[in-house]
Structure formats: structure tokens, C-alpha cells
Amino acid sequence: MRPPLVLTIASSDSDGASGLQADLKTFTALGAYGASAVTMVSTVNSQGLRGIHYLPGDVVRSQIDAVATDLLLDATKIGALGSAAVVEAVAEAVREHSGSLGRLVLDPVMVGSDGSALISAEGATALRDSLLPLVDVLTPNMAEAAQLLGRPLATSIDEMREQALALQALGPRAVLITGGRLEHDDAVDVLVHPGGTDLLRAERVAGRFVRGAGSTLSAAITAQLARIEEFSRAGELGEIGDAGSQDDLVTIVASAREFLASAIENAQGWKVSRHSGTGYSPLNHLITLDKA
């Protein structure tokens, strides 16, 4: 017996609110064992990004090789990559270890919460051309979806659906576009998958400025995909659905969104910064822990 195993390939964020720190917290909260490959080091706090330090592509590749040739991975999340060299190194690693990385989730991190660019123009092109065709689930926000497609930002749910379908045509099995930027009473995400299209709605939390929501959502999806593999090994797929059924992913994404919403809601009383009341707040990834 073993726990679900998940690898995150992402940035190390110094304040712990996003990047691989948020990923590892999410994996643990959802019962998965997390491993990591660092792509870059982000000097960041609640007030914003102060600097980015890219790692060489061969250093990133060596970390992935080390983990993929040893751990029995059920799923892998890919987050911020930063440069074209790292994107290509990760794409090469994914192709070489295609049978060892499990299900692949790509969070195409391009712009930070404060508007800072987190990937070069060449890196964004490499991301679209080299990595998108290799992943199972793509989770861009509205701005990232538009940038990947070279289109204007969507202004309606119908345009979000069109962009999700266009991204799916580039290779991913499923695409989830998060609609936080859409002017709507509820937060509406659009999920296109082999079974069709689903609109996922949640109550919008007014006045909250959080960082790490995208990382946490994609990490939660990855952890739940890994748990599906665990159920399969244990012959317990009935807990979520029959093997390969089209509603599995919808259920997984809905569960991940519930975890994210709870992590946001349960961090409202937190004071973790000397500058509380300004800047961005973290999420509470501790919500599944026993409070006794």
C-alpha cells in the first residue's frame, strides 16, 4: 500500500502563498504525498513581486529525471516555468517519462496577481507549441487563455467557451478557464472535456484579494486525479465513478473548487503580514486538519 504520489514542477515563492509551497500544502491537505522540481525562485511577499531568478533548463530537467525514475507518480502538476529554455526542458522530460508522470495538469502561469510578467514572450510561445499538446488538463485564467490564443480577453461566458474549445483543439484532453475577471454576479468557470461543456458557478467573495488561488485550484485537481489512481489500484472506483467515465473530471474539478472556496473563506480572519489590510492575502490550506 502507498499514498497517492504527486509531483509539482513550479516556482518556489518566498512567502509560501503560491507556487510549489501552495501546491505541497494542497497535496498534503488532500491526502497525497508531494514531490517537487523547482523551476525558478520568486522573491515575493503580500505586497507584490520583488524579483525572479530563473533556473537553467538542465537543472530543472535533472530534478524531474530524479523523481520520475524513482517515485511511483500518479499525477504531475506543471506551474510557472518562466523561460523558453525551461519550457523546452520540461516538455522533453514529459515526452521521455510519459509513462511515469501520471496524469498531467498544466497551470500556464504567465502573469502574477500584481500584474508582473512571469514568463518571457518566447516562453509563452514554447508553452503553447511544445507543452499544451502533452497535457491532460489545462487550467488557465481568462488572461492566460487569451494570451495563449493571441485573442482579446473574453467578455462573456460564450466567448470563454469558444476560447476553451480552441485551447482544447491544441491538444489538452480538457480545459478549465477560470472566470474571476468576468463581470458577473457569480464566479463562473468553463470546463470543456470529452463529455461536453460544463459551467461551474460559485458565489463571488467581494473585497477579497488573495494570492495562490490558481496554484491551489490546479494542485487540488492534480491531487484528486492522483486519488482516482489510488481508487483504481484498490478497486474502489465506485467512490467517484466508473473507470474512464466522462463525469469523473467534472466531479474532480467541482471538488477542487470546493476546497479552494473553503480555503479562501477560512483565511478571512488570518493576520500573517505586518501590512495586513493592504496587498494580497494567503489561503488557509489547513482546513482539512483536525482542529482538536
Q: pLDDT digit string (tens) for 91-114?
A: 999 999 999 999 999 999 987 666
Distance between CA atoms of residues 270 and 274, nearest Å: 12
Q: Collapse the DSSP code of 229 into the 3-class scheme (helix H, G, I; strand E, B; otherwise coil) and give the result.
A: helix
Paired residues of 200 in beta bridges: 189
Q: What is the DSSP letter of 111?
A: B
Q: How confident is the model at residue 262 (pLDDT cuts 50, 70, 90)?
A: confident
15 touches 79 (CB < 8 A): no
Distance between CA atoms of residues 118 and 87, nearest Å: 13
Does an H or E element contain 148, and which? Answer: helix 142-149
Q: Which CATH superfamily is domain 5-265 in?
A: Ribokinase (3.40.1190.20)
Distance between CA atoms of residues 107 and 120, nearest Å: 16
pLDDT at residue 292, as a whole number: 40
Residues 10-21: what's their mean pLDDT?
87
Q: Collapse the DSSP code of 163 into the 3-class scheme (helix H, G, I; strand E, B; otherwise coil) and give the result.
A: helix
Residues 49-57: what's their mean pLDDT?
87
186 touches 202 (CB < 8 A): yes
Distance between CA atoms of residues 237 and 235, nearest Å: 6
Threshold 0.75, pTM exceeds: yes
pLDDT digits (tens, 9 = 90+) for 231-257: 655 544 444 444 444 448 899 999 999
pLDDT digits (tens, 9 = 90+) for 54-86: 999 999 999 999 999 999 999 999 999 989 999
Chain centroid to CA 147: 17
Sheet holding 103-106, edge to edge: 48-54, 33-45, 5-13, 75-78, 103-106, 137-138, 174-177, 186-193, 196-203
Distance between CA atoms of residues 128 and 161, nearest Å: 18
265 touches 205 (CB < 8 A): yes
Q: Collapse the DSSP code of 29 into the 3-class scheme (helix H, G, I; strand E, B; otherwise coil) and give the result.
A: helix
pLDDT at residue 181, as a whole number: 67
Grid coordinates belonging to 106: 498544466
